[in-house]
């Protein structure tokens, strides 16, 4: 492909249907996936990117590196259980952990709105420093930009991270096989509900705290114990439903889960009812799924349960032959339901 051909390419999203970016294009659902598939992947196509993992696995010399990035635009900046600083470190550490990598180095890039409080900046930066220390990553390079008042929203933080993938580890959705177990690391929906409750001013019986947490030690333990992990994915924007759909779409299989096996805290369920959300689609920041051979499923659950954040780990389903839908769920009353990707926008600016 020569350069003139590139700039002449026609936009693959019909501009009559989608002339403008909408909030849903960032929501983690179908429109966001469409944007990424048809715009970003189309223009930037290369074998590493086309794998569509949370991070990129790169061969360098004898070894392999993982490379991931996330921008954080969450509002409010502080929420029960965390803040944008910790989120920006754990977000990228978790993406690297999902590649089976040991996260080592981060970049930190700040887009700050004119008039932002210096004291708050310091608080956010210290929270990043603390999160880095906890996860053993070093912030080694960075950038700071300031935009005019009214052209930002306090602070946006991007981090990119590099991790080292140990020899022998090969995690990729393409390795998923019929019969594999789907293990969920804990109860779902806390992060999204914690943020929405504070944003919408909803009073709950007790404050729901975000599940924000680093996943590196749980993922690392699974690998150190020698489990043959086929795929891992953290369940951020779009929640469990979108995560499973993204995985299933990259395989020839379907995933079938059981509603009764998915842990959801009562308070989260209650808040979801008030807000009209389905917990399957609510963002998490400290939960992930592991897909691995059925015979390793129980062992994975046992290892995850050793961790504070993994006490409620469960096998929630299995990978099956291709079916009429990518993801199916047996509901609590025994009926089968298609779990589709979110089509619109549920929770804006949740991460």
Query: Please, which of residues 53-72 interact with a copy of itself by CB under 8 A?
Result: 53, 55-56, 58, 60-63, 65, 67-72
85-114 binders of a copy of itself (CB under 8 A): 105, 107-114
Going by the DSSP 8-state scheme, the letter that residue 136 receives in this structure is T
The answer to the question of residue 141 lying near a copy of itself (CB under 8 A) is: yes
By rule CB under 8 A, what count of residues binds a copy of itself? 91
Compute the distance between CA of residue 140 and CA of residue 123 in angstroms, rounded to an integer: 19
Compute the distance between CA of residue 340 and CA of residue 348 in angstroms, rounded to an integer: 19
Among 88, 100, 127, 239, binds a copy of itself (CB under 8 A): 127
The answer to the question of residue 76 lying near a copy of itself (CB under 8 A) is: no
The answer to the question of residue 164 lying near a copy of itself (CB under 8 A) is: yes
Pick the piece of the chain touching a copy of itself (CB under 8 A) from 126-134, 198-206, 258-266, 284-292: 126-134
The answer to the question of residue 160 lying near a copy of itself (CB under 8 A) is: yes
Pick the piece of the chain touching a copy of itself (CB under 8 A) from 157-165, 246-254, 268-276, 320-328: 157-165
Q: How many CB atoms lie within 10 A of CB 177?
A: 14
34-53 binders of a copy of itself (CB under 8 A): 35-36, 39-40, 43-44, 46, 48-49, 53
CA atoms within 13 A on the CB side of 209: 7
SS (H, E, C) 204-239: CCCCCCCCCCCCHHHHHHHHHCCCCCCEEEECCCCH
Q: Are strands 102-113 and 138-147 parallel, antiparallel or unpaired?
A: parallel
For residue 206, give the nearest of 271, 263, 282, 283 by alpha carbon: 271
Angle at 284 between CA 279 and CA 287, to 5 degrees: 110
Coil, helix or strand at residue 320: strand
CB of 201 to a copy of itself, least distance (A): 18
Compute the distance between CA of residue 231 and CA of residue 228 in angstroms, rounded to an integer: 9
Handedness of CA 131, 132, 137, 140 (dihedral sign): positive
Pick the piece of the chain touching a copy of itself (CB under 8 A) from 29-37, 207-215, 221-229, 296-304: 29-37
Pick the piece of the chain touching a copy of itself (CB under 8 A) from 1-9, 169-177, 188-196, 203-211: 1-9
CB of 277 to a copy of itself, least distance (A): 19
Among 76, 140, 179, 302, binds a copy of itself (CB under 8 A): 140
The answer to the question of residue 168 lying near a copy of itself (CB under 8 A) is: no
Tokens 């046992």 sit at which residue? 302
Coil, helix or strand at residue 341: coil
In the complex with a copy of itself, which residue's Cβ is closer, 19 or 276? 19
CB of 63 to a copy of itself, least distance (A): 6
The answer to the question of residue 30 lying near a copy of itself (CB under 8 A) is: no
């Amino acid at each position: 492909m020569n350069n003139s051909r590139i700039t002449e390419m026609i936009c693959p999203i019909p501009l009559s249907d989608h002339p403008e970016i909408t909030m849903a294009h960032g929501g983690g659902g179908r429109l966001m996936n469409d944007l990424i598939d048809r715009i970003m992947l189309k223009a930037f196509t290369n074998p590493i990117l086309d794998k569509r993992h949370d991070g990129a696995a790169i061969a360098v010399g004898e070894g392999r590196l993982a490379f991931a990035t996330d921008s954080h635009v969450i509002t409010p900046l502080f929420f029960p259980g965390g803040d944008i600083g910790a989120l920006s470190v754990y977000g990228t550490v978790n993406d690297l952990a999902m590649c089976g990598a040991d996260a080592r180095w981060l970049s930190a890039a700040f887009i700050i709105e004119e008039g932002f409080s210096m004291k708050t900046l310091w608080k956010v930066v210290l929270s990043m420093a603390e999160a880095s220390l906890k996860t053993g990553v070093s912030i080694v390079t960075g950038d700071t930009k300031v935009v005019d008042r009214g052209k930002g929203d306090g602070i946006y933080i991007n981090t990119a991270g590099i991790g080292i993938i140990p020899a022998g580890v090969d995690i990729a959705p393409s390795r998923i096989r019929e019969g594999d177990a789907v293990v969920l690391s804990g109860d779902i929906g806390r992060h999204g509900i914690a943020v929405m409750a504070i944003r919408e001013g909803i009073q709950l019986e007790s404050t729901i705290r975000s599940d924000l947490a680093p996943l590196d030690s749980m993922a690392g333990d699974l690998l150190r114990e020698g489990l043959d992990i086929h795929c891992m994915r953290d369940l951020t924007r779009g929640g469990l439903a979108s995560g499973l759909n993204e995985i299933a779409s990259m395989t020839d299989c379907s995933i079938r889960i059981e509603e009764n096996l998915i842990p959801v805290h009562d308070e989260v369920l209650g808040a979801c009812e008030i807000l009209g959300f389905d917990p399957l689609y609510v963002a998490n920041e400290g939960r992930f799924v592991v897909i691995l051979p059925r015979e390793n499923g129980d062992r994975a659950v046992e290892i995850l349960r050793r961790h504070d954040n993994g006490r409620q780990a469960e096998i929630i389903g299995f990978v099956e032959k291709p079916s009429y839908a990518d993801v199916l769920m047996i509901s609590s009353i025994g009926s089968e339901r298609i779990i589709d990707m979110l089509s619109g926008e549920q929770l804006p600016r949740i991460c």
